[in-house]
Structure 1
Amino acid sequence: MDKNEFLTVDEIIELTGFKKQSCQCEALTANGFSYAKDAEGRPKLTWTHVNAVLNGQINVVAYENERPNFGAI
């Protein structure tokens, strides 16, 4: 995967509207984006994933229903 495929810090701020990492993660999750965190806790996601969510290629509602209920554990 090309390193430039990942959103930059500034692009994530623009996408989420937040500078604080925890707020970025909350906004991403609330809008159906999957991400990983780097060693410093910043969310990392690819343009391929962002475009798939924005173009409706990923069914966010179905995905939400497939997540485990960790609160039940």
Structure 2
Amino acid sequence: MKNEHDILSPDELVQLTGHQYKSRQCQWLNEAGIWYKKRRDGSPSTTWYHIAHPLAYRQFSTEQKLDEPNFSAM
């Protein structure tokens, strides 16, 4: 069973993107809004979490600072 923190294998990346070439995989991930890190060999590395939660669909709050507690919730 896959964990959301598991890194996709090279075969899974080919299956997901439909591309064998690393550069085309990166392009596909960029267009889909999926975060990845490029490895030294140029291949993308990402987790199942990032596949299920693309950056474009995440909600970020710019109003609340992360280092400060939410006092209004108390």
Both proteins in one fold, TM over 0.5 = yes
Tell me the TM-score normalised to structure 2 length. 0.65
Which structure's residues are more often helix, by fraction? Answer: 1
Q: Does 1:6 align with 2:7?
A: yes
TM-score (norm 1): 0.66
Distance in 1 (alpha carbons) for counterparts of 2:43 and 2:20:
10
Matched with 2:29 is 28
1:37 aligns with 2:15: no
* CA–CA distance in structure 1, aligned partners of residues 57 and 48 of structure 2: 20
Q: In structure 1, list runs of 5 or more residues that go unmatched.
A: 64-73
Counterpart secondary structure, 2:53 = helix
Q: Give the share of equivalent positions with the same residue, in percent.
A: 32
Cα distance in 2, alignment partners of residues 44 and 32 from structure 1: 14
CA 1:51–1:39: 2 relative to 1, 3 Å: same
* Greater Rg by CA: 2
